[in-house]
Every structure is written in structure tokens, then in C-alpha cells.
Structure 1
């Protein structure tokens, strides 16, 4: 799979996925990303005029918390939830 760089504001997070957000985990991950960089890409699928997050909510939120405007991602073929 090829990693691409996607603008964070073009990624839609389904409400079902957002319910699992742990703020403490986001903070810890943001610190780790700041020190070591993003270790693994998030997974998204192509939706209508946007990307839909499949996996990597905490990484996405951590990158946003750091003020980054883009994130490494892998585009996967996935069925809609």
C-alpha cells in the first residue's frame, strides 16, 4: 500500500467512530508524534468529495492538536459502515 499525504480538513470522521475518542490518549500520542514523528499512517476510504476515516482517530486528532494541516494516510477499499 502506498502512503499519501492528505489535508486533515478533507477527512470526515463518522459520529460512530468519534464516540471512541479518548482525550488523554490523544494528548500522549501528540507528544509522541512531536518527538518521533507519525509512525504509521491512518486509513481512509474515498467518499463523496472527501475522505472517510476508517482507522486512526487518535492519530488524526493528535496531529490536529499539534496544528498540522496534513497527515500520512493509506487509501483502502472499504465498504460503508
Structure 2
């Protein structure tokens, strides 16, 4: 295995990734915002439960006036931090 050839391949891949990131940053991005009603339906809980999660520091909500919202980025972060993984797949 030639290390110089492998290095060139890695360098080319890195350049492609950086170019893709640069293009995605220049594209206009739409900010998706979810209301409490949408979040409650998504999680299958009541709005009171969402407020409890917020009070416990689990759910980041943006409060504008008397309305509460969550951005798509916040939702993705929340889901990744609170992912439920299978405990055990044994069959009895």
C-alpha cells in the first residue's frame, strides 16, 4: 500500500466534503418552527407534558409573547440526546 496514494485520496475526499459544505451554506435555508400543538401531536403527549419537560430542562422552547415554539434544529438535538435504545433483545 502506497501511503502517498492513500493520502491523495483522503485529501480529494476532504476537498469534496468542504465544497459540499460551502455550497450548502450558500443556499437559502428555510427555518422550520413547530408550535406546541404540532409538538404535542408529534410526541403523542399533552401540551402540559411539554411544559413539564421544559420546566425540567429537557425540552428547549422559544417563548414569543404568550406562544411557545421549537425550531427544527432544536428538535433534532432533543431527539438525538433523548434517543431510546433497546435494552435487550433476548427472547424468553
Q: Aligning the two structures, in what range does the TM-score lie when normalised by the shorter sequence?
A: under 0.3
Bigger helix fraction: 2
TM-score by length of 2: 0.20
TM-score by length of 1: 0.22
Highest CA radius of gyration, 1 or 2? 2
